[in-house]
Structure 1
Amino acid sequence: MQNRLLPALLALAGLLSPLAVAAGTCERLVATGDPEQPPYLWRDPQHPDQLIGASADLLELLAKALGIRIDLVRAGSRPGAEEEVASGRVDLLLGSFPGGARLESMDFIEPALFVQSAVVWMHRERVFPYGGWSDLYGHPGAILADGRFAREFDPLSSTSLPLEEVSTLAEALHKLQRGEVAYLIEEPHAVRAAAETLGMLAEIQPLPPLLSEGLYLAMGRDSACNEPELRARLAAKLAELRAAGLTEGLLQRNAERWKARGLPSSPAAQ
């Protein structure tokens, strides 16, 4: 079923009135993104120089709907990807939060590709009363060592929660299982995929999302292709694709895809 889903979505994208691209230098765009952001984007274990994931699939649908070529390339780490786009060497940054220096060097295209949530996960046998942020301070927690949530989610970055950084989701879930931490803060699709693979899905319990942020497509302001007309086209087609209800299906498909390929570990573990 997984192999049949994307062609069907591509066929749907083809029905969304593809726009002709004006002749010029921007008949081809180059995109990159964080290579450690499953199920949104990550390195293909079989082809490490290629990026796959829900964001990559949505970008493919967007390119087809617009009738333009968008090549997705790996540009090293998340900071490396941001630098390539900020410099103008790469046109698009895929799946980024609008904040910090990025707002000075990039134009973020509405609507967001996806909405990513930071969720607190507890072990079902050790659930403690929770009514808000303040209830977490008396308990040790875990977060992935890449610090994506701590860096990118402004409300979380301003806290001083007792968070232990761990290398992989598997390590974090085992610590939660053993009672070494009381909670884990992480994106829900990735946690469910990892917990199911480890046989722990029935042992963990999510709380309502702490906060949510949009993952956006951004165009570097120094890109030779950064023109208002092209940004407007990208925004209009992206809105159509989202209105067609594709995003949740792409996330579910890629969570299964990530799980099936052995849950590639974080860069800290490689």
Structure 2
Amino acid sequence: MKLRWLVILCVALSQHACNGSEAARSITVAVAANFYETASDLTEAFTQRYGVDVTLVSGSSGKLFAQITNGAPFDVFLSADEMRANKLEASGHALQGSGFVYALGRLTLWSSDPQLIENNGKAVLRSAKFKHIALANPALAPYGHAAREVLQSLGLLQTLEKHIVTAENVAQVFAMVATGNAELGFLSRAAIVSSTGRASGSRWDVPASLHGPIRQRAVLLLHGAANDGARDFCEFLQSPVALNIIRQAGYDTE
């Protein structure tokens, strides 16, 4: 009888070890919508090097933040700002001291019309000769918040308020402008750079002096703290290989 229970115990421990090993070979990363395409390129390179499968869950930083605080089983969070990542560390939802800035975002005003902007964004905005300009929700998306700061800096926020249409995130802004539902839209420069071949049109790269810095911060979440794959992913994001991919996608790095 003792031998039988010993065998059962050994089998159970073996299965537990296997399950732990499987978990370490897969991670779930919550990623801000503006960074999704770049994250896809990064995860491909990461998986080839480490053999860890990565599932990406994309959305606005605010929406993902809410899901994390409500118990969503994400291992790593790539926010489009620092505030939400820092809040997760402070609240204990992320591992203390795990945060780092993985990208510096740049804001771009884009139109699918090749003649509309011609790199003279201020003049286009001041003319107000358009029906709709799309912004990501400033309460949820840092790029939307930065866009409103630009309009405030130019003294145009009140004038253009009636033209503003709000999307949940920059991916939706891109879709609205690409389909003609808005003539103009503020989104990340990377959304245009990484969309070569389908993002024709005209654009104005907004001077950084017109809005606050967009410092995109990553954190290792408590759910992934014991997952070696999640830790490896955070280390990989800071490697020369990853930083080169991030810069090629249209972001700056520290």
TM-score (norm 2): 0.53
Could you tell me which residue of structure 2 aligns to residue 44 of structure 1?
Answer: none
Could you tell me which residue of structure 1 aligns to residue 75 of structure 2?
Answer: 91
1:109 to 99, 107, 120: 99
Alpha-carbon displacement from aligned partner over 1:208-243 (angstroms, at most 9, x marks no partner)? 4445524343222x326269x998865544322347
CA shift at 1:164, angstroms? 2.5
Distance 1:188 1:246, change over 3 A: closer
Show the 5 A alignment for 1:1-270.
Answer: 27-28=24-25, 30-34=27-31, 37=33, 40-41=35-36, 53-62=37-46, 65=49, 67=50, 69-72=52-55, 74=57, 81-86=64-69, 87=71, 89-100=73-84, 101-102=87-88, 104=90, 105-106=93-94, 109-112=99-102, 114-121=103-110, 125-127=115-117, 136=125, 139=128, 142-144=133-135, 146-147=136-137, 151-153=141-143, 154-157=145-148, 159=152, 160=157, 162=161, 163-165=164-166, 169-173=174-178, 175=180, 181=183, 183-191=184-192, 196-197=197-198, 201=200, 203-210=201-208, 213-220=214-221, 222-223=222-223, 225=225, 236-242=235-241, 245-249=244-248, 251=249
Instruction: Note the residue ranges of structure 2 that are not aligned, 5 or more in a row.
Output: 1-19
Question: Is 1:119–1:185's contact at 8 Å kept on the other side of the alignment?
Answer: yes
Percent of residue pairs identical: 9
Alpha-carbon displacement from aligned partner over 1:4-26 (angstroms, at most 9, x marks no partner)? xxxxxxxxxxxxxxxxxxx9998
Aligned residues: 203
Could you tell me which residue of structure 2 aligns to residue 18 of structure 1?
Answer: none
- C-alpha distance in structure 2 between counterparts of 1:84 and 1:169, whole Å: 24
Question: Is 1:120–1:185's contact at 8 Å kept on the other side of the alignment?
Answer: yes
TM-score (norm 1): 0.51
Alpha-carbon displacement from aligned partner over 1:40-73 (angstroms, at most 9, x marks no partner)? 32xxxxxxxxxxx3203313434565x4735325
* Alignment RMSD (CA, Å): 4.8
User: What letter matches 2:104 in structure 1?
Assistant: V
Alpha-carbon displacement from aligned partner over 1:185-217 (angstroms, at most 9, x marks no partner)? 12234346768437xx2x523234445524343
Question: Is 2:79–2:217's contact at 8 Å kept on the other side of the alignment?
Answer: yes
User: What letter matches 2:94 in structure 1?
Assistant: M
Whichever of the two has the greater Rg, that structure is: 2
